[in-house]
Amino acid sequence: MSLWTVLKLFAAVCVLAVMAFTGMLAYHILVRPLGGVFEKIIPNPTEVVGRPPEGDFAKMLDSAELPDIDPGEKAFQKAHELLALGKLDEAREKLTTIINVFPSSSSAPTARRIVGEMNLDEILSTTHMEGKQVHVVKRGNSFLGIAGEHDTSLDIIMHLNNMMELKNIQPGEELVVMPLNFRILIEPQRKTLSFWDGDRFIREYPIIHLGVPGVLPAGKTKISSKIAEVQGKRVAPQSKDYRSSEKLVQIAKPSLLIRGAPEKSEEFPHGIIVRPQDMEEISLLTRVGNEVEIR
């Protein structure tokens, strides 16, 4: 027998051996474990057919942790890029999407803060006149009458017109006015107080203390009055001390005050307590008659 014939026979035997091994391996995986060398190659073939994993392979699966996916984070990163490029309107749209669509996202609190600051800058600025009007004073007009006509408050009229106190007004004078038709949402569980224009988020403030007996009942109510005090004494809007006074907002039902935390006391008074600087803004954004929802 020639050497060439021997080589061909050897090659044929090798091919048959590989085919047989492959067939047995397939049987080991798909039908029934065969043990031996096959168990060393594939320790847990039952995993292939959907049975519970065992042994080392099960430990590998247990130790593999899938990353948590925050759908709001990608939108926040895009908004951050737009802010850096100075594209404020597009950035605000992205951040508002996070607030409305992904409220539980880890980025949502920061999105609320940024959007709130952007909104407040526009609301309190006379260079941004969207949503504001110029009222030309007529004979017989009073500040209270002008505030009632435009669904606004003396606080915001004084702020927008840079007035420290209410002075006499003359026919023909112009005053910047802005309707205050915001809805106030109080969420005791989240300890937040927020302003909304319909379904549009405006601004959110943290509640640092909720001084109410029991559970604050859910429901809708209104702001019944606004109060100004200096050292515990009521101050009229015409007073020169009005602008620097402590502001309090009275809710109708349940009868409850929204007020700033005292600066020189560690004890909180009864009511919904916010930071003093936040109370100044809350006073500017509210008027008697605003809808309040406790959720």
- Residue (of 184, 163, 136, 207) closest to 287 by Cα position: 184
Per-residue confidence (pLDDT) for residue 10, from 0 to 100: 65
Judged by average pLDDT, the poorest of 33-42, 100-109, 150-159 is 33-42
- Residue (of 199, 177, 195, 176) closest to 185 by Cα position: 195
* Residue 206, preceding peptide bond in cis (omega within 30° of 0): no
Token pair, residue 13, equals: 């035997």
pLDDT in tens, 104-149: 899 999 999 999 999 999 999 989 999 999 999 999 999 999 999 9
Q: How far apart are CA 196 and CA 203, in angstroms?
A: 7
User: Global pTM?
Assistant: 0.73
Could you tell me the maximum CA-CA distance found in the chain, to the nearest angstrom?
130
CB 27 within 8 A of CB 42: no
The full length of the chain comes to 295
pLDDT in tens, 246-272: 999 999 988 999 999 987 767 888 899
Judged by average pLDDT, the poorest of 4-18, 73-87, 102-116, 197-211 is 4-18
Q: How far apart are CA 111 and CA 95, in angstroms?
A: 5
Mean pLDDT for all residues in the chain: 84
Per-residue confidence (pLDDT) for residue 61, from 0 to 100: 42
Domains parsed from the chain with CATH numbers: 8-58 (no CATH), 71-123 (no CATH), 126-179 (3.10.350.10), 183-294 (2.40.440.10)
pLDDT in tens, 224-250: 999 999 988 999 888 888 888 999 999
Average pLDDT of the residues in 187-212: 94
Per-residue confidence (pLDDT) for residue 173, from 0 to 100: 95
Per-residue confidence (pLDDT) for residue 186, from 0 to 100: 97
Of 49 and 39, the one with more pLDDT? 39
DSSP per position, 27-72: HHHHT----THHHHHSS-GGGTTTPPP-HHHHHHHHH--PPP--HH
Torsion angle (degrees, nearest 10) of CA 183, 187, 191, 194 = -20
